[in-house]
Structure 1
Amino acid sequence: MLLDEDPATLIHHTIGNFNIHPDKTAIERINEALSTVQQARDMRIREAESALRKLSRNLATLSTQHNETLSSHGSLDHASHIVELDTRKFRIAKAASDLEIESERLEQELEGLKGRLHNLDVQGIEGNEHEKARREQDDPTILKLKIYRSLGIDIEPSQSGSYNRAVIRNNQKGDVHVVNVDPKFSRFFYANYFWQTM
């Protein structure tokens, strides 16, 4: 069967009408965001597992010390040794209890982190972080604070909400200066002081 138009022309028009480049770009962006979320989750899980392993090692060390203490007492001064060993036993038991409580706290923290990660997964790739970044771009105060922070100056707000305290860090000298900004001095004075301190 002969076609009314040239097949090459039909194929060219068909390809031109099916532009998949935006879809491919969106898929790549989604895959990159998923990879970032996965890496953050893996890092938090590794940190929690490392903390649990450290606590387990501490518990094993304390248990070994406890067993060595119990097996090292002699026959002389048996009563005083028993009292001393009981004291040590209670200390070790308290330390083990503290470690167990800390281990449970870390497990709860790990569960909380898993829950937060799940919430992030549910919110999607462009959830709250996208909205927060958009708000920060539009807020001139946040932009000013970022510029100060990049210069090594942290501006702290007061209880009233005004920014009237600056913490200036000089890494080369190892100095930290705290400056309370008083409106009776000019901006030129504080700019000059900040540059000299940095």
Structure 2
Amino acid sequence: MTDVAIEETRSIVQQTIHTFQPSSDLDLIRHIDNDMNEAADNWETRLKEDQDILKALSRKLENLKADASRPQVGDDGLTHTERLVNLDRDKFNTAKSINELESVINSLNVTVEQLKDQSDKLDHRDVEKELPADSTILKLQIYRSLGIELLPDKTGKFAKARICCNSKNDVHTVVIDDKYSNFFYANYLWDMCT
């Protein structure tokens, strides 16, 4: 290889190393996860509030229905006709209140169903498809395409690399530790791959 080709190769490897900074990707994933948790909590709170309102209105409706079915004790001084007029007015007002409460209950039932549907959609949404690809996965794919396989130790940290060079029909294993810089390992692995 000529010196120019080696310098170009080193330049490309250095640019590639600087490109892989996963902190911004991880921050984005954390931000999306926090937003989704907040949205789910807000929906659950709103659903519970609407259910509480619905229960209170249902109790009020039952009380009004019970009051409407009880006979009213009137003043003895009122005539029969006046009592009938008063009872009809009470009956009309009660029926009107019942209709209003039933329409409110129906409206709240529709809202509860819509909130349940939205909650189900949030629960069944595939979050992994919406998240950008993890930078670690991208790095591993690039390494594998070059013939480099990173091997994790017992703690899950990448401690060794297996390099397969098809042109030389050769396999090497390199221990990766903190003795040398990332630049050294990048050059060393590149030399073994080529």
Query: Is the structural similarity TM-score above 0.5?
Result: no
TM-score band, normalised by the shorter chain?
A: 0.3 to 0.5
Q: TM-score, normalised by structure 1?
A: 0.42
User: Which has the higher relative contact order, 1 or 2, with Cα contacts under 8 A spaced 6 or more apart?
Assistant: 2
TM-score scaled to structure 2, two decimals?
0.42
Larger radius of gyration: 2
